[in-house]
């Protein structure tokens, strides 16, 4: 079983290599985003030393870390699933002795690992030379960040699986997928750290899974969360991983029942 999933990851690696153009355009897009957000936030800070508990340097670090983290957790599984269901290629997946959605999740992991190694790590080195950042040296913080980031990845995958399968029941699924992407980027704290939201919004967001995708892992690194704060963040993430698995499986079973494979 494990070998099979490793093979799935390897194949996705090969496919990413086959689509190198996406990789190059990704570098450009991410560089622009980091640059724009950096200068935007620095102008908001002006000469105030800190806002909402984040110093200007921490803010810069937050921007760099959260975008590089996004390169790892972001994927288009939802669009792929909706597409495969619509054009009937899902039939080929259903004659294989595996769980379609788990295999999709591992494809997402393959994609994530690819971008982490070939994009985020070198990107982070470059960015830390260009902008003044405050990253921990060689310390346990990186391992904590890795754990938190991985859980964030799982949550994002689950959200994507849910959207992808749900899109099958809904006519205008392009719109839905696009809206989901916007919501995740905004509510996960990627564009605006959660601590900058009004109090009531923060309260609401703390009950949603999105902050666990990006905000929590980034804070682990930026603020060097430790002790109780760290374990609290990690357990919130773990809880979401488990909770989201339930609707994913339910809606998949339902889709399998009503699934009509078009064509052929």
Partner 1 sequence: MRSIEARGLTKEFKVYQSRPGLKGAFRDLLNRQYRTIRAVDAIDLTIEQGEMVAYIGENGAGKSTTIKMLTGILQPTAGELKVNGFDPHREREKFVKTIGVVFGQRSQLWWDIAVQESFRLLKQVYQVPDADYKQRLDRMIEVLDIGGLLDQPVRKLSLGQRMRCELVAALIHQPKLLFLDEPTIGLDVLVKENIRRFLREINREFGTTVLLTTHDISDIEALCSRVVMLDQGKVIYDGGLQELRRNWAKGKKVHFELAREVDMSELEARTAGMPLRWERKGERQVVLHLEQPDLAVSDVLAQIVQHVHIVEMQIEEVSTEEIVRKIYQEGMTLA
Ligand X SMILES: Nc1ncnc2c1ncn2[C@@H]1O[C@H](COP(=O)(O)OP(=O)(O)OP(=O)(O)O)[C@@H](O)[C@H]1O
CB of 264 to ligand X, least distance (A): 7
Distance, CA of 62 to CA of 70 (rounded, Å): 12
CA distances from 251 to 77, 110, 157, 169 (A): 16, 24, 15, 10
Question: Which CB sits closer to partner 1, 92 or 229?
Answer: 92
**CA 89 from centre of chain:** 26
> In whole angstroms, how close is the CB of 20 to partner 1 at the nearest point?
11
Q: How far is the CB of 74 from partner 1 (least distance, A)?
A: 20
Which residues are near partner 1 by CB under 8 A?
3-4, 6-8, 11, 14-15, 18-19, 88-89, 91-92, 94-99, 256-257, 259-261, 263-264
In the complex with ligand X, the residue whose CB is nearer, 199 or 264, is 264
Nearer to ligand X (CB atom), residue 227 or residue 263? 263
Beta strands 50-51 and 54-55 are antiparallel
Cβ-contact 167, 255 below 8 angstroms = no
State the number of CA atoms in the 13 A half-sphere of 65 facing the CB.
Answer: 30
55 contact choice in partner 1, ligand X, none (CB below 5 to 8 Å, kind-dependent): none
Select the binding partner of residue 249 from ligand X, partner 1, none (C-beta < 5 to 8 A, by kind): none
* Residue 103 beta carbon to partner 1: minimum distance, rounded to whole angstroms: 9
Minimum distance of ligand X from residue 262's CB (angstroms): 5
Q: Which of the choices partner 1, ligand X, none does residue 262 contact, using the CB cut-off of 5 to 8 A by kind?
A: ligand X
Asked whether the beta carbons of 133 and 57 are under 8 A apart, the reply is yes
DSSP letter (8 states) at residue 119: I
- The nearer residue to partner 1, 12 or 70, going by C-beta atoms, is 12
State the binding partner of 183 from ligand X, partner 1, none, CB within 5 to 8 A by kind. Answer: none
Distance CA 132, CA 145 (A): 20
- The answer for residues whose C-beta is within 8 angstroms of residue 132's C-beta and 6 or more apart is 57, 60
Contact residues: ligand X, CB under 6 A = 260, 262
Shortest distance in whole angstroms from residue 4 CB to partner 1? 4
Report the run of H or E that residue 55 belongs to, with start and end.
strand 54-55
Q: What angle, 0 to 180 degrees and rounded to 10, lies between the N-to-C axes of helices 56-73 and 121-130?
A: 160
Contact partner at residue 11 from partner 1, ligand X, none, CB < 5 to 8 Å by partner kind: partner 1
């Amino acid at each position: 079983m494990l070998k099979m999933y490793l093979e799935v990851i390897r194949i996705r690696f090969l496919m990413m290599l086959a689509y190198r153009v996406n990789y190059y355009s990704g570098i450009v897009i991410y560089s622009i985003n980091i640059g724009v957000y950096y200068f935007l936030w620095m102008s908001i800070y002006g000469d105030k030393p800190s806002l909402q508990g984040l110093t200007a340097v921490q803010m810069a670090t937050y921007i760099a870390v959260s975008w590089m983290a996004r390169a790892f957790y972001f994927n288009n599984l939802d669009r792929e699933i909706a597409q495969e269901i619509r054009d009937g290629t899902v039939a080929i997946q259903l004659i294989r002795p595996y769980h379609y959605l788990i295999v999709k999740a591992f494809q997402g992991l393959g994609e994530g690992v690819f971008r982490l190694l070939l994009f985020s790590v070198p990107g982070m080195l470059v960015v830390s030379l260009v902008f003044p950042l405050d990253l921990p040296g060689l310390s346990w913080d990186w391992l904590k960040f890795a754990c938190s980031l991985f859980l964030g990845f799982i949550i994002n995958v689950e959200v994507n699986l849910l959207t992808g399968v749900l899109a099958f029941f809904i006519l205008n699924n392009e719109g839905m997928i696009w809206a989901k992407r916007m919501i995740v980027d905004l509510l996960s704290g990627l564009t605006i750290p959660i601590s900058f939201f009004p109090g009531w919004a923060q309260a609401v967001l703390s009950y949603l899974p999105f902050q666990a995708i990006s905000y929590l892992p980034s804070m682990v690194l930026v603020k060097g969360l430790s002790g109780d704060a760290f374990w609290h963040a990690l357990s919130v993430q773990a809880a979401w991983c488990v909770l989201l698995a339930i609707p994913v499986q339910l809606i998949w079973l339902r889709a399998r029942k009503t699934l009509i494979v078009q064509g052929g």
